[in-house]
Amino acid sequence: MAFEDQRTTVYKINPERPESETLPTLRTEELLLNMGPQHPSTHGVLKVILELEGERLVKSTPVMGYLHRGVEKLAEDGTYHQFIPHTDRLDYVCAMYNNFAYCRAVEKLLNLQVPERAEYLRTIVAEVQRIIGHQFWLSAQALDIGVMTVFFYCFRDREILLDWFDELCGARLTTSWYRIGGVERDLTPSLIDKLKQFLNYFPPKIDEYQVFLEKNRIWLGRTKGVAVISAEDAVSFGLSGPVLRGSGVDYDLRKYEPYSAYPKCEFSVPVGKNGDTYDRYWIRVMELYESVKIIRQCLEQMQEGPIMADVPSVTLPPKERVFTNLESMIQQFKLFSQGFDAPPGEIYCGTEAHKGELGFYIVSTGGGKPYRLKIRAPSFVHMGAFDHMARGYMISDACTIFGTYDVVMGECDR
Amino acid sequence: MNPLLQRIQQTFSVGVTDLAEWRGDVAVTVSRDKLHEVAQFLHDDPGMDFDYIVHVSSVDWPDDEERFEVVWEFYSIRKRHRIRLKVRVPESDCVVDSLTDLWKGADFMEREVFDMMGIRFRNHPDLRRILMPDDYTEGYPLRKDFPLRGKGWRDTFDFLDEVPR
């Protein structure tokens, strides 16, 4: 690596003195530094033990688990429906996509078809969530690196979408809007209007974020050529999402294992070249434009229709029927207290969340509860490559590298 | 039959104990001594070319003779196919070969399996607990005999009497 020649192991006190004099030398040894778990740029509670030589990172050991809540164990104790709110708390910044990934996995286990309108609704809301996720990432990363203005601009726009979520399902962050077999409720005309307004309002704002960053010497200096990972290493480490695509690997489940309404939409997958922090930033900003495109197409193509699959043994009855009809109430009660009978078997279903591949591996032995549920969390996998990517960079770059993974510890520790 | 499974069956006459395909997922169960060999084949063979590791997981079947099941899931970026590799481990000798030499990402994932299920990985570079504290001695939380509410010091808590108002 290029940093080798910059290292000095013996520091002379006064280099102008003649060589013949006995020079006092400074003792050099590696320094251990704990970063976190309460550091603002560690995105929650992550501790990293850094071995330093001067200000260069020689080795870094992530210490995780401060937010471990045993979600996989909890899943074994509840029915499939009861686990949906738990998925909100995995990646609490982007709850919708976790719901989506989980519901898709259960639907694959049950071999359940979701109605077309529900697929469009799911795609629209998932893409809105992707915009929120990337805005949150951009603001946090910029703040870590020292560009504070972008943080305020991103949060201003993110607030509009969070209010939109609030109107959609009554919650801003822990949404639980997806259901197995469909979605909880439909978009109202007011929501559609607001979303259309936002789609017109938003693209110029993305340009604005870029103006702040792409001509900013500090931003360029701290992202270009920082935390480079080659395509082979990125694949071998199992990185996914923008972190993998930044290294030039074209891997996006929305394109190559298409699901929901994505195959009916036209969009491109931005792929980087250099595998550095700047490329990963560029990919995420380009994905903002793509998300806007996808939402526009979905709103145009969407037809009227049911929003929940009609399989009474699995899917929940409409809420208004629960309050007026005895059988529907019994059905709702049975589904929540006993759950539905899932066939025995095992499936893995991966979904392209904005952080990367969020997968659920479910083992069922029949009955209403999963026998084993494993969450393949992109943040956890990305932390595995931290040491590899941080080696040789400065301490201050460690913050950049947490940021570039878009790590959320709730998902990492589960 | 799936061409991937056919290919594996032809290559390994012994060692492959089960081939399954369900809901489009392809799964291969191998015996413990053949694990690394099969994994090497999946990684290196140009027809297989599984270069991407998806997850490492484990399942506990307390009533079975070989109690634990370790599960690796691989994907091929170029060929765009998936496979699941499974191996059974008895409780008395909870050791399997580590696949960290083939897929670097297996490092953290296998540490998680060790932490949660207590399965040891031979030749793993740094097999320590990852989510639970290093000095945690109450067992392995995801085993079926580990109570949902945890065990150890929490059992010694007394219930408080109702506080008079």
> Is residue A87 exposed (0-12), middle (13-18) or buried (19+ Cβ within 10 Å)?
buried
pLDDT band of residue A81 (cuts 50, 70, 90) is confident
- What distance, in Å, lies between the first and last C-alpha atoms of chain B? 71
Do A318 and A219 fall within a single domain? yes
What one-character DSSP code corresponds to residue A58? E
Q: How far apart are CA A241 and CA A226, in angstroms?
A: 18
CB contact under 8 A, B105 and A376: no
User: Which CATH number belongs to the domain containing residue A369 in this structure?
Assistant: 1.10.645.10
Do A109 and A216 fall within a single domain? yes
- Interface residues from chain B to A (CB-CB < 8 Å): 22-23, 25, 27, 51-55, 57, 59-60, 71, 73, 77, 80, 82, 84, 103-105, 107-109, 112, 116, 129-133, 141-142, 146, 148
CB contact under 8 A, B23 and A64: no
Answer yes or no: is B44 within a domain. Answer: yes
Which of A41, A63, A85 is the C-terminal boundary of a domain? A63
Which of A63, A81, A112 is the C-terminal boundary of a domain? A63
Least Cα separation, residue B11 to chain A (angstroms): 24
Answer yes or no: is B42 within a domain. Answer: yes
Residue B141, domain extent: 3-156
Q: How far apart are CA B157 and CA A182, in angstroms?
A: 44
Do A187 and A220 fall within a single domain? yes
What one-character DSSP code corresponds to residue B159? P
Q: Is A332 a residue whose pLDDT tops 90?
A: no
| pLDDT single digits (tens) A52-68 | 887 888 888 888 888 88
Determine the pLDDT at residue A28. Answer: 66
User: Which CATH number belongs to the domain containing residue B86 in this structure?
Assistant: 3.30.460.80
CA angle A156, A157, A159 (to 5 degrees): 70
CB contact under 8 A, A68 and B109: no
Do A195 and A255 fall within a single domain? yes
- What distance, in Å, lies between the first and last C-alpha atoms of chain A? 35
Q: Locate tokens 């993305």: which residue?
A: A206
- Interface residues from chain A to B (CB-CB < 8 Å): 64-65, 68, 70, 72-74, 76-77, 108-109, 111, 233, 235-239, 249, 251, 256-257, 345-348, 350, 357, 359, 361, 363, 371-372, 374, 376, 380-381, 383-385, 388, 413-414
> Is residue B18 exposed (0-12), middle (13-18) or buried (19+ Cβ within 10 Å)?
exposed
> Closest Cα to residue A89, out of A216, A32, A174?
A174
Residue A7, domain extent: 2-63
Q: What is the DSSP string of A243-288?
A: HHHTTT----HHHHS--TTGGGS-------SS-SHHHHHHHHHHHH
Answer yes or no: is B162 within a domain. Answer: no
Q: Which of B22, B44, B54, B64 to mutate to test the interface with A (most CBs of A within 10 A)?
A: B54
Do A271 and A324 fall within a single domain? yes
| pLDDT single digits (tens) A354-411 | 888 999 999 999 888 899 999 999 989 998 888 888 888 888 888 888 888 888 888 8
Do A360 and A278 fall within a single domain? yes
From the list B22, B104, B108, the residue facing A383 with the nearest CB is B108
Do A20 and A133 fall within a single domain? no
Q: Answer whether A224's CB lies under 8 Å from A233's CB.
A: no
| pLDDT single digits (tens) B15-24 | 888 888 888 8
Determine the pLDDT at residue A70. Answer: 86
Q: Quick one: what percent of chain A has pLDDT higher than 70?
A: 92
Determine the pLDDT at residue A8. Answer: 45
Do A154 and A284 fall within a single domain? yes
Can you count the helices (H) and strands (E) in chain A? 17, 8
Q: Token digits for A247? A: 């290294």
CA A53 to chain centre: 33
Which of A47, A63, A79 is the C-terminal boundary of a domain? A63
pLDDT band of residue A302 (cuts 50, 70, 90) is confident
Determine the pLDDT at residue A1. Answer: 45
Reported pTM: 0.87
From the list A109, A372, A376, the residue facing B54 with the nearest CB is A376
| Residues in chain A within 8 Å Cβ distance of B60 | 372
Residues 6+ apart with CB under 8 A from A234: A243, A244, A247, A249, A275, A385
pLDDT band of residue A226 (cuts 50, 70, 90) is confident
Do A125 and A15 fall within a single domain? no
Do A224 and A88 fall within a single domain? yes
pLDDT band of residue B5 (cuts 50, 70, 90) is confident
Q: How far apart are CA A48 and CA A122, in angstroms?
A: 37
Do A314 and A370 fall within a single domain? yes
Do A7 and A117 fall within a single domain? no
Helix boundaries (H) for A111-188: 116-145, 148-169
Least Cα separation, residue A347 to chain B (angstroms): 7
Least confident of A29-43, A44-58, A229-243, A293-307: A29-43
Determine the pLDDT at residue A103. Answer: 92
Q: Count structural domains, chain A.
A: 2
Q: In angstroms, what CA-CA distances link B98 with A132, A209, B42?
A: 39, 45, 15
Q: Answer whether A269's CB lies under 8 Å from A250's CB.
A: yes
Residues 6+ apart with CB under 8 A from A219: A142, A145, A147, A213
Q: Count structural domains, chain B.
A: 1
